[in-house]
Amino acid sequence: MRMEKIVLEKVCWKVKATTAFQFLQLYYSLIQENLPVERKNSLNFERLEAQLKACHCRIIFSKAKPSVLALSIIALEIQAQKCVELTEGIECLQTHSKISGRDLTFWQELVSKCLTEYSSNKCSKPNVQKLKWIVSGRTARQLKHSYYRITHLPTIPEMVP
């Protein structure tokens, strides 16, 4: 392993971890291949991506394996769309990815709970309380001097769903 690392450093090759988004893309493309032509539009990738982003806003999902999280999101969407013919495809992906049924069920429940809370009225209302930075006097003095050296950027308008 040490020699492998040295060789990789010498050839400037960076090893990057596979993300849940990459698994989502892979699983989505594999499922799309097996869909009949009339059902190709039943799964919307942008919706799946938005669901993954919503999950990433919760710290608990940082503990999930990327493959399990991606498969959980797709499996829940397939259940919601009532695409019975795709359940076999999910089971096949689960087997090939070596994901236990218990793990998949556990993370599906957490994803379902997260997405339910995310789509509720409680989540969509903006918080009226303003955020305040609390800094020490020393930091404030340093920030005050650097404040005049920074060029001001235009404010980015906030989108409210």
CA distances to 53, 57, 69, 90 from 62, in Å: 12, 9, 10, 23
Joined tokens for residue 4 = 């492998």
Provide mean pLDDT across the span 87-113: 91
Q: How far is CA 158 from the centre of its chain?
A: 21
Task: Tell me the per-residue pLDDT of 119-158, one tens digit each, with 9 for 90 and over.
Answer: 776 655 445 555 566 677 777 777 666 555 555 667 777 7
Pick 31 or 142 by higher pLDDT.
Answer: 31
pTM of the model: 0.66
Using alpha carbons only, what angle is made at residue 66 by residues 104 and 108, rounded to the nearest 5 degrees? 25
Closest CA to 71 of 97, 42, 46: 97
Answer for the pair 51, 111: CB distance below 8 angstroms, yes or no. yes
Answer for the pair 105, 111: CB distance below 8 angstroms, yes or no. no
User: Over the chain, what is the mean pLDDT?
Assistant: 81
